[in-house]
Structure 1
Amino acid sequence: MYKLKNIISQALIFNSLFALGITEATAAGANVGLATVANQTVEANGIKFSFRSFGKKTGTPIVFLQHFTGTMDYWDPAVIDGLAKSHQVIVFNNTGMGHTTGKVADSIDQMTKDANAFINALGYKQVDLVGFSMGGFIAQELAAAHPDKIRKLVLVGTSNKGGGDHLLKVLGEAFAQANIDPRQYLFFTQTANSQAAAKEFIARSSTRKDRDPEISKEDMNSHAKALITWANTPDPEFSLLKSIKQPVLVVQGSNDTMLDTANSIAMYQNLTNAQLVLYPDSGHGSLFQYPADFVSKVANFLN
Structure 2
Amino acid sequence: MSLSHVTAPTQYVEVDGVSYAYRRWGKKCGTPLFLVQHFRGGLDHWDPLMTDGLAEGREVILFNGRGVGASSGTPRRRFEDMADDIAAVIKALDLPVVDLLGFSIGGFQAQEVVLRHPRLVRKLLLLGTGPRSGDTTIDPEMVPVATKPVHDQDDFVFLFFGRSEAAKQAGRDFWQRRHERTVDVDPLSSPEVAEAQWEAYLAYMEPPAEGEPFEHLKAITIPTLVVNGIRDIMIATVNSFYLGQNIPNSQVILYPDAGHGSQFQYPERFLKHAIQFLDE
Report TM bin, short chain: over 0.9
The residue number in structure 1 matching 2:161 is: 188
Give how far 1:45 is off: 1.6
Q: Report Cα offsets for 1:256-287 as digits up to 9, x if no partner.
A: 12211111012101111011111111001000
Distance 1:198 1:93 in 2: 23
RMSD between superposed Cα atoms in Å = 1.9
Give how far 1:173 is off: 4.4
- Segments ≥4 residues shifted beyond 4 Å: 175-180
Give how far 1:97 is off: 1.0
Distance 1:41 1:287 in 2: 27
Matches of residues 178-257 of structure 1 in structure 2 within 5 Å?
180-209=153-182, 210-234=184-208, 236-257=212-233
Q: Report Cα offsets for 1:66-103 as digits up to 9, x if no partner.
A: 10000110011111111000010000111111111111
- Alignment-mate amino acid for residue 270 of structure 2: F
Give how far 1:53 is off: 0.3
**How many residues were matched structurally?**
274
- Alignment-mate amino acid for residue 176 of structure 2: A
Give how far 1:167 is off: 4.1
- Alignment-mate amino acid for residue 190 of structure 2: S
Q: Report Cα offsets for 1:109-131 as digits up to 9, x if no partner.
A: 11111111111101111100010
Residue 42 of structure 2 corresponds to residue 100 of structure 1: no
Task: From the superposition, tell whether residues 91 and 240 of structure 1 become closer, same or farther in structure 2 (CA, over 3 Å).
Answer: same
Report the 3-state secondary structure (helix = DSSP H, G, I; strand = E; otherwise coil) of the residue aligned with 1:237.
coil
Task: From the superposition, tell whether residues 157 and 44 of structure 1 become closer, same or farther in structure 2 (CA, over 3 Å).
Answer: same
Q: Report Cα offsets for 1:209-266 as digits up to 9, x if no partner.
A: 1311111122221121112321344484312211101110011111112211111012
Distance 2:242 2:37 in 1: 22
Distance 1:294 1:250 in 2: 11
Distance 1:84 1:108 in 2: 27
Matches of residues 74-223 of structure 1 in structure 2 within 5 Å?
74-167=45-138, 169=140, 171-175=142-146, 180-209=153-182, 210-223=184-197
TM-score (norm 1): 0.85
The residue number in structure 1 matching 2:12 is: 41
Distance 2:139 2:201 in 1: 10
Distance 2:122 2:156 in 1: 31
Structure 2 gaps, min length 5: none
The answer to whether the 8 Å contact 1:45/1:117 transfers is: no
Report the 3-state secondary structure (helix = DSSP H, G, I; strand = E; otherwise coil) of the residue aligned with 1:148.
helix
The answer to whether the 8 Å contact 1:141/1:240 transfers is: no
Distance 1:175 1:129 in 2: 26
TM-score (norm 2): 0.92
Task: Return the match for 2:242 from 266, 285, 298.
Answer: 266
The answer to whether the 8 Å contact 1:112/1:141 transfers is: yes
Structure 1 gaps, min length 5: 1-28
Distance 1:175 1:144 in 2: 29
The answer to whether the 8 Å contact 2:135/2:238 transfers is: no
Task: Return the match for 1:71 from 4, 21, 42.
Answer: 42
- Alignment-mate amino acid for residue 142 of structure 1: V
Identical aligned residues as a percent? 39
Distance 1:125 1:145 in 2: 15
The residue number in structure 2 matching 1:18 is: none
Task: From the superposition, tell whether residues 49 and 301 of structure 1 become closer, same or farther in structure 2 (CA, over 3 Å).
Answer: same
